[in-house]
């Protein structure tokens, strides 16, 4: 299992973000809970959790 986040901007297109992979969903979600505000400030509006190219869930808004 190689989980990663896909980042989308305000218009729904993919936008750059940290290229980090996680061994499990808990690790990915813990990282996001620490980094979501930085991502939002960098122009990321929504994220989708992927396992390789399969969607686990999302898109999920980062806006409060």
Q: In this model, does residue 34 exceed pLDDT 90?
A: yes
Average pLDDT, the chain: 96
When pLDDT is averaged across residues 31-52 and rounded to a whole number, the result is 97
DSSP structure class, residue 18? -
When pLDDT is averaged across residues 32-40 and rounded to a whole number, the result is 97
Q: In this model, does residue 18 exceed pLDDT 80?
A: yes
Q: In this model, does residue 37 exceed pLDDT 90?
A: yes
pLDDT at 64: 82
Helices (H), 1-64: 25-41
Integer CA distances (angstroms), 11 to 23, 33, 63, in order: 30, 23, 14
Neighbour tally for 32: CB within 10 Å = 16
Beta bridge partners of 6: 48
């Amino acid at each position: 299992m190689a989980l990663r986040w896909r980042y989308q901007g305000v218009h729904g297109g993919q936008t750059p973000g940290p290229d980090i992979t996680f061994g499990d969903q808990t690790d990915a979600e813990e990282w996001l809970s620490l980094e979501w505000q930085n991502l939002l400030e960098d122009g990321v509006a929504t994220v989708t959790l992927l396992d390789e190219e399969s969607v686990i869930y999302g898109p999920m808004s980062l806006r409060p």
